[in-house]
């Protein structure tokens, strides 16, 4: 059972921002749930510095497993690393850079019940699954692997760079319910996509000869935005900037969310992010290798035995079979990719109001200082959805300083501890968040690290008192 859970969670290519989710002191938390009411009149992100996010994740063997300076033979370590990895282990990178963002509240002067936010960010996603069978073939060859299929469906790779323009609107419907919607326009700078490969190569004992080599290969890689980058009149840098501004392959999507205040202390919220697609029509270059052939050797002395064909036909057939097998079919067929949909939901309990030192009593109208809760994150992948569960504790240390600690169980580890803080110095807001603190004692042995930080300028509502 445990094995099953581990295996089924292994498709995780997480864009989980468990520390930022619900951290409403940071305006960028609106990108994780559009149905949050920010406690400010307006804000703007310091351009290019408002949200810097990077997440690197690997499952299976770590950099340290392979490159540790431990006097163990390097090739032994490579061998062990390959043995310890499965075809569902992967390397992944997810990076985001907010170029600009802003937001402001709307509504009557006594109750601002609407919030509009907008911005532009750039995102990079990369995932490469470990093709274990091909690694074994490269390490050992087929001699010791007769009858063992080398599955080419393990070759799975996806990479995308895109810019996202967005406008979000959140509205407090009543005291209990706030809803939000964010529209997005995607402009893909470049896309590489090879996730639906099939096939295998296997050597089996043959009838006519020692072996039959069975090739059954169906590999396809689709790319957009790369083939049109190396033209004579193209300056790649300028071209990329043009694509950020709607010049790439365009797509549409939305985020939707809600916040339900159950009572003074309990809230339940949820969001669905990046429900959308990108239509790839420009700079398309797709490559496909598809073939089926069983090679048993050649019979040059009696080429026509049995079949009655001429020697020339015999040779032509073998040649055609091999050429057909490894011939790369290039097309410019347009295609559509779906954005990975992300689901966030959380149940939160607020407690512990501020106490007054003079009377040792609590302030009735004051805000709760602590919050604890559970968050669930799920994300679609081509194979199966992935999940992460987080427990957190949030504390308002001062009016201007808030911290959050998280404990997350996901496919990278069962003990991922994250910490985040947000501080306001005058109007300037600074936040920084990172996770996997338990593993950070040796960063090379870490399977996943994520870091988010940024600066905003926040204009706070005047306090009534």
Partner 1 sequence: MQRQVSLYTLLTVVLFSSFFSCTKEVDFDQAEDLEISPVLETSLVFFDETVNSFLVNNLPVFIIEDAFDLDIFKNDFVVDNLIKAEFEFEGFNSIVRAFEIDVAFLDEADVELHSFTFTMQESTDGSDVPSGHIEVFENDKLTNLTSTTRITFALRMLPGTGVDQTTPGRLQLKSKAVFYLNIEG
Q: What is the contact surface with partner 1 in residues (CB under 8 A)?
A: 63-64, 66-70, 73-75, 78, 137-144, 146, 203, 206, 208-213, 295-303, 305, 311, 315, 397-398, 400-401, 419, 421, 423-426, 430, 432, 434, 437, 440-445, 449, 451
Which residues are CB-contacts of 221 (< 8 A; sequence separation ≥ 6)? 157, 192, 193, 194, 286, 287, 288
Phi first, then psi, for residue 314 (nearest 5°) are: -60, -50
State the minimum distance, in angstroms, from the CB of residue 443 to partner 1.
Answer: 6
Q: How far apart are CA 170 and CA 102, in angstroms?
A: 14
Phi first, then psi, for residue 315 (nearest 5°) are: -65, -40
> Which tokens go with 10?
């292994």
Which residue, 150 or 186, is less far from partner 1 as judged by CB? 150
Nearest to 399 by CA among 461, 319, 318, 337: 461
State the minimum distance, in angstroms, from the CB of residue 64 to partner 1.
Answer: 6
Which residue, 198 or 200, is less far from partner 1 as judged by CB? 200
Q: How far apart are CA 111 and CA 232, in angstroms?
A: 58
Which residue, 178 or 456, is less far from partner 1 as judged by CB? 456
Q: How many residues in total does the chain contain?
A: 465
Q: How far apart are CA 450 and CA 56, in angstroms?
A: 6
Terminal-residue alpha carbon distance, the chain: 57
Which residue, 145 or 380, is less far from partner 1 as judged by CB? 145
State the minimum distance, in angstroms, from the CB of residue 424 to partner 1.
Answer: 7
Which residue, 305 or 330, is less far from partner 1 as judged by CB? 305
Which residue, 66 or 227, is less far from partner 1 as judged by CB? 66
Q: 3-state class of 372 per DSSP?
A: strand
Nearest to 124 by CA among 191, 174, 218: 191
State the minimum distance, in angstroms, from the CB of residue 134 to partner 1.
Answer: 11
State the minimum distance, in angstroms, from the CB of residue 465 to partner 1.
Answer: 17
State the minimum distance, in angstroms, from the CB of residue 400 to partner 1.
Answer: 5
State the minimum distance, in angstroms, from the CB of residue 52 to partner 1.
Answer: 13
Which residue, 115 or 201, is less far from partner 1 as judged by CB? 201
Instruction: Report CA-CA distances (Å) from 394 to 32, 271, 368.
Output: 17, 20, 10
> Which tokens go with 61?
């063997």
């Amino acid at each position: 059972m445990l094995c099953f859970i581990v295996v089924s969670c292994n498709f995780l290519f997480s864009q989980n921002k468990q520390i930022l989710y619900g951290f409403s002191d940071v305006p960028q938390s609106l990108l994780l749930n559009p149905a949050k009411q920010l406690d400010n009149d307006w804000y703007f992100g310091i351009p290019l510095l408002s949200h810097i996010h990077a997440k690197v994740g690997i499952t299976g063997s770590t950099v340290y497993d392979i490159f540790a300076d431990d006097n163990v033979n390097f090739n032994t370590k490579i061998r062990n690393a390959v043995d310890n990895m499965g075809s569902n282990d992967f390397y992944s990178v997810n990076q985001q850079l907010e170029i600009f963002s802003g937001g402001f509240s709307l509504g009557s002067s006594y109750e601002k019940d609407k919030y509009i936010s907008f911005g532009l960010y750039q995102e990079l996603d990369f995932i490469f699954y470990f093709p274990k069978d091909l690694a074994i073939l490269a390490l050992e060859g087929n001699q010791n692997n007769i009858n063992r299929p080398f599955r080419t469906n393990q070759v799975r790779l996806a990479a995308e760079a895109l810019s996202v323009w967005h406008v979000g609107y959140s509205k407090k419907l009543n005291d209990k319910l706030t809803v939000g919607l964010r529209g997005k326009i995607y402009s893909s700078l470049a896309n590489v996509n090879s996730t639906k490969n099939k096939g295998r190569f296997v050597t089996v004992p043959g009838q006519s000869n020692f072996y039959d080599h069975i090739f059954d290969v169906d590999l396809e890689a689709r790319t957009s935005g790369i083939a049109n980058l190396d033209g004579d009149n193209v300056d790649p840098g300028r071209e990329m900037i043009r694509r950020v501004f709607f010049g790439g392959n365009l797509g549409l999507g939305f985020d939707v969310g809600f916040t339900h205040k159950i009572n003074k202390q309990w809230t339940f919220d949820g969001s669905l992010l990046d429900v959308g697609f990108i239509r790839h029509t420009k700079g398309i270059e797709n490559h496909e290798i598809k073939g089926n052939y069983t090679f048993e050797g050649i019979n040059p002395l009696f080429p026509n035995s049995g079949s009655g064909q001429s020697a020339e036909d015999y040779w032509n057939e073998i040649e055609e079979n091999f050429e057909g097998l490894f011939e790369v079919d290039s097309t410019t067929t347009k295609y559509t990719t779906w954005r990975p949909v992300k689901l966030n939901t959380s149940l939160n309990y607020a407690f512990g109001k501020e106490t007054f030192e003079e009377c040792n009593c609590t302030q009735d109208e004051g805000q709760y200082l602590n919050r604890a809760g559970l968050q669930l994150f799920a994300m679609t992948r081509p194979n199966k959805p992935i999940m992460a569960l987080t427990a957190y504790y949030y504390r308002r240390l001062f009016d201007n300083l808030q911290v959050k600690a998280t404990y997350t169980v996901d496919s990278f580890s069962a003990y991922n501890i994250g910490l985040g803080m947000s501080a306001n110095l005058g109007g300037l807001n600074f936040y920084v968040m990172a996770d996997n603190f338990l593993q950070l004692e040796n960063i090379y042995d870490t399977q996943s690290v994520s870091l988010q930080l940024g600066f905003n300028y926040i204009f706070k509502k005047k306090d009534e008192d």
